[in-house]
A and B are shown apart, each in its own frame.
Chain A
Amino acid sequence: MEDFYTDLIMEHSMCSANKKNIDNANYSSLGHNPNCGDEIKLYAVIKDNVIVDMAFTGHGCAISQSSTSIMIDTLKGKSVDEAKKIILIFMKMIRREEISEEEKDLLKDSIAFENVANMPARVKCAVLSWHTLEDLLEQLK
């Protein structure tokens, strides 16, 4: 269990620099896990199809909070298409499907959630922000 609650995950969950409001965000989306009460709001500044800035507010467990913060670090500065591709890779990893070395590199620190696949009851915590971002990017259509 200590292997899962690593320094990386704990530090992101307890005091994340990404946990704040963005005043000039042009997109936002609310994510909610009704069974546990976890709730996050993602804010993004998207210009010329690039995620220029992203942040979140809300509350939840260490897994949902750290997953959100690490996702933001992973995807900030990426184009919308790249971000969508990385979301799919993250979901593949969570489903325990094989991912290539190249794909692993794209996930950066988000690879830390690889083992959440072994904790079925907590998968929903890890994917909450990723699904919320999917919803947010849908608004661009």
Chain B
Amino acid sequence: MKDNYEIKKDFPLLVNSSIAYLDSGATTQKPRCVIDAVENFYLNTNANPHRGVYKLSVDATTELADARHNVASFVNANDDEIVFTKNATEALNLLAYSYALENLEKGDEVVISIMEHHSNLVPWQKITKLKGATLKYLYIDKNYQIPDSELKKITQKTKIVSVLSVSNVLGTINDINKITKVAHENNAIMIVDLSQSIAHMPFDVKTSDVDFAVFGSHKMYGPLGVGVLYGKKQLLESMQPFIMGGDMIEYVYEQDTTFAPLPNKFEAGTQDIASIVGLSKAIDYIKSIGYQNIRKIEENLINYTINSLKNLNFVEIYATDDVNKISSVISFNVSGIHSHDVSTILDDNNICVRSGNHCAQPLLRYLGLDSTLRISLAIYNTKEDIDKLIDALKKTYDMFKKYLEK
């Protein structure tokens, strides 16, 4: 089994620099094999799929189909239940417009959690307002988890429940199976945003029984520019297309159009095949490391990071006490110093962390915070990265201390 030091060698950007990259929740670095797969597509297979009758176009079409099959099996879906989008955000917007806009009625309710990224919040705000429906929130307790009592907000009035599997701010792992069960008991459909979990833990659409799932390639070692929407076939079939154009039609007349079968109905225009091929390679890469090994590496790092941060008396951590309920994200603040100032000093020490509100303004407001520092770990991070962070945090605090005491 490869350890994180060996894994790091697979990532050219990390090998060629001295940075401690602690922002994989924003986007992961890419392994050599993914970069090669993208390059190889442009060197040897580049053509517009589905259009040409010539061999090169057929090859591109095959690559697209193979990639779709790989993505589908990765989450235990059927090939025609996988729709490629630009990113997870577009996939959620597709659901808001093609599903919610058609199915919501006045008085209906949509339930999301207070932890949602703006991408799983703003579209629901827009659609519920448009339809006269209500947007309700599952709040978290003092331990940064959704207590069971909150699930009572899912009722017969609820038509859609949409929750992230892992919080991009708190790292909290949500019990998607439990929430899905409650949603289904109330005849609501269940959407899960897997963006922050897909690189860290497996997901099976059949055992979880979710109706829709979304994730992005670039947070799972794949290229930027590709998102994935999974949907149960009968639901996808019942929905209208989101974006109209080429390759998603069956017959086009001057005034009317019939649409192509799944998944093409939802994939108007030329797809980013090179990135899709890269995503497929990233999935192979994750499989080659193995989710069990990934969890082992990351769990060690999370424990090490939390313990190291706890040793700093000027740091406040916003994470649940239960380490088993934390994925690879940890938010914290340095007392008295704004997160942006800390991250500027960390950057000066070649450490990449995120600062700000992490596209989750309602959550930060709920927590009574203006901003946090966020580290998000991946399989190529090492204890040395964390040691470097801790040293730089001490340096930062020393630098600002004299002003804080005034």
Task: Give chain A's interface residues, CB within 8 Å of chain B.
Answer: 1-2, 5, 10-11, 13-15, 34-39, 59-63, 119, 121-122, 125
Contact = CB atoms under 8 A, between A and B. Distances in A.
A122 B339 CA distance: 12
Contacts of A125: 340
A123 to B, nearest CB: 12
Nearest to A11: B403
B344 A15 contact: no
A36 B371 contact: yes
B361 A1 contact: no
Contacts of A63: 340-341
Nearest to B355: A36
B322 interface: no
Nearest to B344: A122
A15 B357 CA distance: 24
Interface in B334-359: 337-341, 344-345, 347-348, 355-357
Given A5-B399, A37-B361, A63-B341, A15 B356 contact: no
A37 B403 contact: no
Interface of B: 337-341, 344-345, 347-348, 355-357, 361, 364, 370-371, 399-400, 403-404, 406
Contacts of B347: 121
B340 to A, nearest CB: 4
Contact of A37 (B341, B344, B371, B404): B371
Contact of A35 (B357, B370, B403, B406): B357
A11 B402 CA distance: 10
B25 to A, nearest CB: 15
Contact of B404 (A14, A38, A39, A59): A14
A63 B343 CA distance: 13
A96 B54 CA distance: 53
Contacts of B404: 14
A36 B357 contact: yes
Contacts of B370: 37-39, 59-60
Which 4 pairs from chain A and chain B are nearest by CB? A61-B338, A61-B340, A36-B356, A1-B348
A13 B361 CA distance: 24
Nearest to A10: B403
10 contacts: A5-B400, A10-B400, A10-B403, A11-B406, A13-B403, A14-B403, A37-B356, A37-B357, A39-B370, A60-B370
**What DSSP secondary structure best describes chain B's contact surface?**
helix
A10 B340 CA distance: 14
A63 B371 CA distance: 15
Most buried by B among A10, A15, A61, A63: A61
B338 A1 contact: no
B270 to A, nearest CB: 31
Contacts of B345: 1, 5
Nearest to B365: A37
Contacts of A60: 338, 340, 370
Contacts of B340: 36, 38, 60-61, 63, 122, 125
B364 A2 contact: no
Given A60-B340, A62-B338, 15 more contacts: A1-B399, A34-B361, A36-B340, A36-B357, A37-B361, A37-B364, A38-B340, A38-B370, A61-B341, A62-B337, A63-B341, A119-B344, A121-B347, A122-B340, A125-B340
Nearest to B356: A36
B234 to A, nearest CB: 39
A121 B337 CA distance: 17
B152 to A, nearest CB: 32
B341 A62 contact: yes
Contacts of B357: 35-37
B374 to A, nearest CB: 12
